[in-house]
């Protein structure tokens, strides 16, 4: 069981800790919401920049090919040569739009002209073209032969337009008329944006933007957007250090991916593949989970976790480029990239809460100590209710109203019970307090030992004495008698004029109640004799006391009415004890006991026997014995 000081300290500290935890939780929730807002803003920015860049580059290329599709230098003849007017036109277009990898025109007779920038290619891609180190532009030209062969000549020029190399590829095997961008454009007779695929000549991922020629010969003009550089740009916009951006078209073909180079390399090991891998081929992990849960949704966002339990915010949004080309952009933002400051603030808040809580401990302990001391004093006063000790003059006070009122109430109760014990036997009061004595009417039959006392010639003394002096003398006399009886555990039942009625073995059991009564009678007699010496010295008439002692069964309990009752003893045993006191006058003794008393304690006390007598009001003879003293 805890003390009040410990309990109040634990209670307050529990409250402080709970409050601190609640505040930290609220702070964490607020900061987490702010973190999600920050991550969402980053994803908005990455999405806007990535899609804006893709849409802007595709729109610019589409505008260019639409303009070139009407140029007579391209659309009026399918006879191509190394010095044709279309070449400088294509070179100027590449300079104007650096996002383009190449621009080319294909004709229905199999002729093909391409101008490609080589300065931006990787070493591997330049090796595939067999480009000299000084080459800045590669011009590829296919002129069909009468037998249907499509030999290609590739001419390399430096920045100044000077030829720096030339190769002839007699069996190159490229027929533009079989490429999807070509026949899709002619079939729809409108501009076309292809799905991502690997370029035939350099195995680089590209998207082709094409338009039908609007001149004298049928054909298609097209330009390539190189996706590896675009994917690098997109990943630079990722939300957070560990974020990811993926873009794929309506067919699922990847346009941008954090591992784009690896996917390209994988595609290059399978020459039969004509396109880059699809988003549908990613069948595990967070990406697959997000794609599955976003099926048939134009927009979806939420939280997903990787295999290590790390949380990622995701957003998948569909977009449209032009009339027939659409796709989706998927963004993943790692929570840890945005919650570092949150965790630092949480840790700081935790440390602050611990420090504040630790600071409260001594204050609460001091407060609890003060309260505990006050309550202990009140508890001590409450304990005195049971011991019937004299109450202190001043109640226990406190600055706390309820405790102050409690102290005053306990002090008042102590005074009331202490005062009550002066009018009712203390054993009765104690029994009422500890509930060993009932407060309802009723009685039981049990054995008790009784003493009745009386002052010899009290009526004559009272007639001659001053009433006030008599009252004081009687009170002194009763105090001495009562003290002797209480010392042996007797219950002083009542004062009847100058007489006293005392009994033992009730309300609490006393196995030696007969011996107690005998000792009490001898002690009271001796105390009365000493008091009479004082009375005579003061000129007062001495009080000669006579005692009657008897033991037997009596009815003991609450007698009276429900409004006023008295705990007392009734019966023949009580009457006989009173008669024994009166017999002292006849035989000239001071302390008379019945035969029942004698038989119980004759081995402990000295008695002098008398003849049997019939007491007043009795029908049977009773042997009587004078109690002389204790055995030596």
Which tens digits make up the pLDDT trace of 24-50?
677 667 766 666 777 777 778 777 887
Mean pLDDT computed over 456-465: 90
User: What does the pLDDT read at residue 498?
Assistant: 92
Helix (H), strand (E) at residue 609: strand 605-609
User: What does the pLDDT read at residue 512?
Assistant: 96
Domain ranges in the chain are: 52-336, 426-630
User: Which DSSP state fits 358?
Assistant: H
Mean pLDDT of the chain: 82
Query: In this structure, what token pair is assigned to residue 290?
Result: 């997000």
Mean pLDDT computed over 252-260: 76
Higher pLDDT, 247 or 87: 87
Higher pLDDT, 6 or 544: 544
Query: In this structure, what token pair is assigned to residue 460?
Result: 């004559």
Query: In this structure, what token pair is assigned to residue 308?
Result: 């290590």
Choose which CATH entry (3.90.600.10, 3.30.70.1230, 1.20.1540.10, 2.40.37.10) describes domain 426-630: 3.30.70.1230
Q: Given pLDDT bands bounded at 50, 70 and 90, which one contains residue 274?
A: very low
d(Cα 231, Cα 316) in Å, to the nearest integer? 17
Query: In this structure, what token pair is assigned to residue 201?
Result: 């000549």
475 pLDDT more than 90: yes
User: What does the pLDDT read at residue 305?
Assistant: 84
Contact yes or no for 198/205 (Cβ under 8 A): yes
The top-scoring range by mean pLDDT among 55-69, 326-340, 508-522 is: 508-522
d(Cα 430, Cα 121) in Å, to the nearest integer? 109
Superfamily classification of domain 52-336 = PAS domain (3.30.450.20)
130 pLDDT more than 70: yes
Query: In this structure, what token pair is assigned to residue 150?
Result: 């499509």
User: What does the pLDDT read at residue 95?
Assistant: 87
Higher pLDDT, 542 or 391: 542
One fold for 52-336 and 426-630: no
Output the CA–CA distances (angstroms, integers) from residue 63 to 136, 209, 256, 314, 357, in the order listed.
25, 10, 23, 34, 69
User: What does the pLDDT read at residue 360?
Assistant: 66
Rounded to two decimals, the pTM is 0.51
353 pLDDT more than 90: no
Higher pLDDT, 286 or 453: 453
Q: Given pLDDT bands bounded at 50, 70 and 90, which one contains residue 103?
A: very high
User: Residue 25: helix, strand or coil by DSSP?
Assistant: helix
Q: Given pLDDT bands bounded at 50, 70 and 90, which one contains residue 527?
A: very high
């Amino acid at each position: 069981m805890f003390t009040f000081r410990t309990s109040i300290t634990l209670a307050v500290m529990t409250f402080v800790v709970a409050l601190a935890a609640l505040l930290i939780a609220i702070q964490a929730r607020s900061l987490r919401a702010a973190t999600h807002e920050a991550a969402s803003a980053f994803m908005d920015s990455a999405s806007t920049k990535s899609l804006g860049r893709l849409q802007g580059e595709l729109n610019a290329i589409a505008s260019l090919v639409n303009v070139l599709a009407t140029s007579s230098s391209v659309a009026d003849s399918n006879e191509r040569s190394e010095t044709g007017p279309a070449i400088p036109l294509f070179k100027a277009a590449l300079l104007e739009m650096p996002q383009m990898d190449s621009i080319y025109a294909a004709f229905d007779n199999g002729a093909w002209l391409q101008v490609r920038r080589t300065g931006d290619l990787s070493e591997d891609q330049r090796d595939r073209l067999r480009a000299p180190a000084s080459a800045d532009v590669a011009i590829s030209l296919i002129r069909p032969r009468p037998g249907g062969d499509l030999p290609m000549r590739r001419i390399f020029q430096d920045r100044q337009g000077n030829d720096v190399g030339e190769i002839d590829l007699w069996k190159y095997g490229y027929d533009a008329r079989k490429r999807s961008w070509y026949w899709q454009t002619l079939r729809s007779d409108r501009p076309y944006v292809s799905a991502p695929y690997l370029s035939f000549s350099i195995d680089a991922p590209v998207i082709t933007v094409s338009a039908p020629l609007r001149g004298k010969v049928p054909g298609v003009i097209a330009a390539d957007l190189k996706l590896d550089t675009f994917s690098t740009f997109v990943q630079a916009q990722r939300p957070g250090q560990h974020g990811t951006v993926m873009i794929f078209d309506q067919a699922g073909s990847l346009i941008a991916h954090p591992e784009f180079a690896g996917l390209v390399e994988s595609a290059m090991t399978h020459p039969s593949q004509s396109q880059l891998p699809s988003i549908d081929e990613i069948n595990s992990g967070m990406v697959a989970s997000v794609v599955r849960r976003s099926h048939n949704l134009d927009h979806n966002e939420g939280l997903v976790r990787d295999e290590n339990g790390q949380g990622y915010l995701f957003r998948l949004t569909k977009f449209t480029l032009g009339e027939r080309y659409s796709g989706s952009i998927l963004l993943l933002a790692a929570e840890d990239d945005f919650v570092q400051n949150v965790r630092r603030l949480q840790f700081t808040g935790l440390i602050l809460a611990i420090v504040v809580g630790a600071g409260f401990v001594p204050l609460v302990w001091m407060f609890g100590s003060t309260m505990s001391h006050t309550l202990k004093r009140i508890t001590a006063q409450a304990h005195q209710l049971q011991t019937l000790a004299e109450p202190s003059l001043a109640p226990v006070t406190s600055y706390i109203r309820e405790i102050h009122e409690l102290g005053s109430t306990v002090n008042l109760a102590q005074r009331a019970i202490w005062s009550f014990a002066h009018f009712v036997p203390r054993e009765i009061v104690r029994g009422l307090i500890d509930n060993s004595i009932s407060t309802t009417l009723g009685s039981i039959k049990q054995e008790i030992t009784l003493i009745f006392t009386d002052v010899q010639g009290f009526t004559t003394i009272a007639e001659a004495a001053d009433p006030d002096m008599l009252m004081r003398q009687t009170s002194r006399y009763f105090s001495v008698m009562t003290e002797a009886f209480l010392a042996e555990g007797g219950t002083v039942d009542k004062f009847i004029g100058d007489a006293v009625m005392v009994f033992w073995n009730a309300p609490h059991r006393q196995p030696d109640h007969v011996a107690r009564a005998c000792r009490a009678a001898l002690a009271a007699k001796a105390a009365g004799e000493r008091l009479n010496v004082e009375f005579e010295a003061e000129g007062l008439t001495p009080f000669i006391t006579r005692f009657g002692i008897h033991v037997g069964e009596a009815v003991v309990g609450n007698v009276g009415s429900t409004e006023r009752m008295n705990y007392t003893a009734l019966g023949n045993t009580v009457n006989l004890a009173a008669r024994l006191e009166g017999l002292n006058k006849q035989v000239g003794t001071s302390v008379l006991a019945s035969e029942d008393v004698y038989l119980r304690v004759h081995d402990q006390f000295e008695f002098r026997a008398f003849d049997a007598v019939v007491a007043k009001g009795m029908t049977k003879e009773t042997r009587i014995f004078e109690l002389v003293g204790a055995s030596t």
